[in-house]
Chain A
């Protein structure tokens, strides 16, 4: 029953999204010329030599040169300009388009003794030129591109205003050389949903967006990660003002593929939905039947209430889409599955979250925020139960209540500021079982703006209490004191009875003398009970993180982060180098 409901909700989401797709007619400028250049630093497209600009209504504007500021959304054709269309045949010196004002400005050529005129067209009404109307003072100005280097050379471009530019036969500046490509799409939309990610993390990702329109973007990615190596991936975006869908296949070229689909829909400003579907499949070819497959689906609905909000989240797991493996041994190759196996545990939770409120009055820097909710989990093969004695009952319900109290930054001793916060939650299960979570933090900071230095010291205590009443010892029986994992052997586990405490003393200093340079150091001393086991739980006892950010050039930002673990789990430095290159 749950699956049909999920499918129905998915269909509703898609149906409503598709209805929106036709709401706005597409507009575009098709530009061809001897040379079409794109200056990425300025978001400017220029074209020179035999310029032909075809507007979306078919009107053709020709001239010697073209320039368009993609961010300001205005363009200019100049030099021997001709505007040709069913209702217009005009010649002039320059033609400027201002789509945001729904106006086009034309500087006519003198003819038959008549002096040049300034004409204004309203929208696409080419047969009705308004002479002598005021025009923007810089309507016919060229941008100053002195010192700028084109990021792309091409012979043609299809510009979708406020969205993207599709370049034909471009040469794209990559790693110091101009790389020829069949097509390339530059997206400059102010709509962030064009950039929603349907991929899992990777060490490196080079995107080749090759197709795009007002509401879509298709990209091929060359990626590298430790598990799959180097591979290709594909993603497809559909984007409207507030709604979006991204579908991806990642990897595309490996036998173990992941098919992802994420969709988001604003049903109204106060009701939003989000869907995430993922299938992981091991298949020798992309159209072949998988040898093994699993799936996960999540749907989330968010509703805004008066000074609060409701969020419903449902997770469905489909662990064995092919059925139960026979034999149940992943070291053996098999095509045989028991199709009667229908394991699909699910979890649904409805959460209410209140707004942040003043505890006493607006003048007292104390705020609080409340939350509560209830949930339902189901697994026919057993859910919950004692952590060490699964399975439990097939169905489990729980409810929870919690809240956070915090101060705003309180100024003390001139340039010091103090913040205190505490978060507490209790979760009750249908079993005689509840879990308490607590998190308290106090931080004292100091800002020295003249020295460009800021530092703080913070102390945080987090507690988890897993209460089973008189069955506490059954839930957490005595374990061996020593645990051996791939990272080593760790002791201090035997006394754990479900109550953990994590205390952390942190100190940080940030030195940022200019916007182009910042150095930060963060040291932490963690005291965990039970003792931390790498890969399972806990924090390294000692940790020092250094972060250096430096802008090497206008295009290159170096972000170097290194952590030092003081030989915990035989680990000293963990290097992370992030070099951010913008074209």
Chain B
């Protein structure tokens, strides 16, 4: 290399060496997030990070870039502009509209936050990330064999305010009902199976009331939830209520048009009520 070439390389290197730091100083970094507060010279974001404000930070409108009268406060979204040299926020562009985090969010938060670092782990904080993807969930409910073919079966959930008729299922064969719903992964609720009212709700094999089923939507494409109902709370095992007024030992369907406009059956036994039972309908008011 000639002396002249060496001098040229050296000169170029010197120019580059001088130019790099000044260029880095001019490259302002940006952090976008939702505000918690601006207080005592710091701006706080919902990530839990606090950044030091410069002495006279510029407050501007996010869309126009012009100075705004909008004051930074909780729930507003903001873009903080940092001076890397001082690690301070020199400009805050605020808006009421929802802003997504930018790509450098985590890196800048880690680098520039003034919040004291975490020094101690918290074992009680557990969990795994969920994307909230939509998952097709099929509920398949097997009912007791004695359940009438025409019976309506429902799922009642705490998310739906325990409406006993919240999710209606369709009978798919002699014993099973089915419903398909879509839930975001992570969806969690408690549920019970009913026949449309809290007077007819599922029971365990031994006739006891159990705890509600707990459902959680996993991070999968599709999921099937199966439940077997062994008995209903109003199931009397075909035992007639012999002493009921008007009861007859042959349990025919007393009202084939349930829910229709027909008046309720009085189910008077053949031959009428036994004497000396009064002929009046019990508790019927005088007219």
Contact = CB atoms under 8 A, between A and B. Distances in A.
Contacts of B46: 78, 94, 140-142
B205 A404 contact: no
Nearest to A305: B206
A356 B165 CA distance: 27
Nearest to B254: A537
B128 interface: no
A13 to B, nearest CB: 15
Q: How many interface residues does chain B have, given as a range?
A: 35 or more
B5 interface: no
A390 B273 contact: yes
Given A388-B269, A404-B145, 12 more contacts: A103-B122, A118-B48, A291-B285, A303-B206, A304-B206, A330-B281, A355-B206, A384-B249, A389-B271, A409-B173, A537-B256, A571-B257
Interface string A415-448: 0010111010101000000010101011101010
A413 to B, nearest CB: 14
B93 to A, nearest CB: 19
Given A116-B42, A292-B286, A536-B267, A93 B250 contact: no
Most A-side CB within 10 Å, residue of B165, B182, B244, B252: B252
A50 interface: no
A187 B50 contact: no
B86 interface: no
A109 interface: yes
The secondary structure that dominates the A interface is strand
Contact of B178 (A136, A197, A454, A582): A454
What are the 4 A-B residue pairs with the smallest beta carbon separation, nearest first? A309-B206, A537-B252, A443-B174, A330-B280
Contact of B238 (A132, A264, A324, A437): A437
Given A144-B98, A458-B174, A464-B250, A272 B116 contact: no
Contact of A390 (B244, B253, B269, B285): B269
A373 interface: yes
Contacts of A460: 149
A110 B114 contact: yes
A456 B260 contact: no
28 contacts: A116-B44, A130-B120, A132-B120, A135-B48, A140-B46, A255-B285, A256-B285, A294-B283, A304-B207, A304-B208, A317-B245, A330-B278, A331-B287, A377-B242, A379-B243, A381-B277, A409-B173, A421-B174, A441-B174, A445-B174, A458-B174, A500-B250, A518-B170, A536-B265, A537-B254, A540-B256, A571-B260, A574-B257
B23 interface: no
B261 interface: yes
Contacts of A189: 158
Contacts of B267: 536
Contact of B74 (A65, A187, A406, A532): A65
A331 B173 CA distance: 51
A347 B256 contact: no
Contact of B274 (A194, A282, A310, A390): A390
Interface string A343-373: 1011101010101100000000000000101
A545 B164 CA distance: 21
A330 B254 CA distance: 24
A541 B238 CA distance: 24
A39 interface: no
A576 interface: yes
Given A309-B208, A330-B284, A381-B274, A109 B150 contact: no
Contacts of A107: 36, 44, 48, 50, 115
A272 B263 CA distance: 36
B90 interface: no
Interface in B159-182: 159-165, 168, 170-176, 178-182
B194 to A, nearest CB: 10
Nearest to B197: A197
A439 B158 contact: no
A487 interface: yes
A311 interface: yes
Contacts of B250: 387, 435, 464, 466, 498, 500
Contacts of B274: 381-382, 385, 390-391
Interface string A121-160: 0000000001111111101111010100000000000000
B231 interface: yes
Interface stretch (A15-23, A167-175, A508-516): A508-516
A524 B148 CA distance: 13
A141 B248 CA distance: 65
Nearest to B199: A197
Given A135-B122, A383-B242, A536-B267, A115 B116 contact: yes
A504 interface: yes
Contact of B284 (A292, A307, A439, A504): A292
Interface in A77-92: 78-81
A351 B249 contact: no
A442 B165 contact: no
Contacts of A222: none
